[in-house]
Structure 1
């Protein structure tokens, strides 16, 4: 149980769905909606069961009989911690994904402005494509993290303690992956990308100064001719 608690705590530390004929029609629609809801629920359960099976396949060590018994008795409290953590994390996930994707949009706008000013943006376009790719990878990992936390909340941990333990380990691995991805994303944005933008800014300033000088010379020449 100490191991399980450590995994759950690690999740906290990592990151931060009229009358007469009308009534009959309504009754039929209600039945159809109920059937659809049941089908959706069954489909979601099937998908969850499939994911839990995959989590188990990735487990490094299987639970012993003693560990299974301890976890069966204690997993509900751990599940409560996960639910609390996930609720706090929902807005963070949405905001992070928005920020990551907006960086690419801002670079698109910057590239257009630089091109309109006659600046070669080849290096910046390559960096833009790279950071968009990293942002998408981060967004995908956040989605996967969100899904495994939902699985941890929804599964019957007492009837499947091994599945619960496997899902916790998968969540921990995803958290480590997210940390590494976020670190690399930040490193690229604050070093390579920043340096490229700095170079382009200097190039733009020189071009603007040259244009201003040409305009001044043209004005002086025209004035002298008069």
Structure 2
């Protein structure tokens, strides 16, 4: 039974790959805002979109000169067209990364549950592992929110009439950059927790179970010799 659990932990350790921070590009996609229900009218959508634009401008006051705004006005449309090419890939990459994180959490919760049900002589101490898995789960949820808001910001950047409302376009662009940074930070924190927090705990438990197995095997050999 002990060997079974050491193998289980080893498989889990092998399955948890080192995860690097997401490198996301500023891309655009169709308006798929999650807060919008299917029954929402176009007027409500536009009102919600406008309220976000106003918030973006509040959070990112325009610091460009008139000449800089004019230059941005001339460049924004080609930039929007260019970024659309990267939209689908960026969204798919983010969704794929989220699923990977969620799968890791599920796998760790399953391992923790089995370890707690262990009926050997000495039950493995899973307290620290449980704490770290709970922390990981919270960070993955945070990543999910960051990913969603990042995608919304990309949608908004794509939707703005940048030639007419160049200051709004600039504010939306700054918002996308902020959301991208938040997403990378979330991903980095998850990677650090897995590699520096969870993996060492799994190794510690695996070694403890292996030590118990070796001690039991040695005792069995001794008993057979004496017998």
Would the aligned equivalents of 1:107 and 1:128 in 2 still touch at CA under 8 Å? yes
- Contact 2:129-2:201 at 8 Å conserved across structures: yes
Q: How high is the TM-score relative to the length of structure 1? A: 0.75
Which residue matches 1:197?
202
Structure 2 CA distance for aligned equivalents of residues 13 and 75 of structure 1: 13
List, as ranges, runs of 4+ consecutive aligned residues in structure 1 with deviation greater than 6 Å: none
Note closer, same or farther for the CA distance 1:73–1:51 as it changes in structure 2 (3 Å cut): same
How big is the alpha-carbon RMSD for the aligned residues of Structure 1 and Structure 2? 2.8
Structure 1, unpaired ranges of 5+: 1-9, 18-35
1:166-205 alignment to 2 at 5 Å? 166-205=171-210
Query: Could you say if the C-alpha distance between residues 174 and 103 of structure 1 is closer, same or farther in structure 2, counting changes exceeding 3 Å?
Result: same
Q: Is the 8 A contact 1:152 1:164 kept in 2?
A: yes
Q: Which has the larger share of helix?
A: 1
Residue 113 of structure 1: CA displacement?
1.7
Report how many residues are paired. 193
1:37–1:102: structure 2 CA closer, same or farther, 3 Å change rule?
closer
Instruction: Measure how far apart 1:11 and its partner are.
Output: 5.8
Quote how far apart the aligned CAs of 1:69 are. 2.7
Larger of the two Rg values belongs to structure = 1
Name the residue aligned to 1:90.
91
Q: What is aligned with 1:159?
A: 164
Kept after mapping to 1: 8 A contact 2:108/2:133: yes
Question: Higher relative CO (CA 8 A, sep ≥ 6), structure 1 or 2?
Answer: 2
- 1:12 is aligned to 25
TM norm structure 2: 0.74
The 8 Å contact of residues 74 and 163 in structure 2, kept in 1 or not, is answered as yes
1:110-153 CA distance string (max 9 Å, x none): 10121122322101000001111111111111111111111111
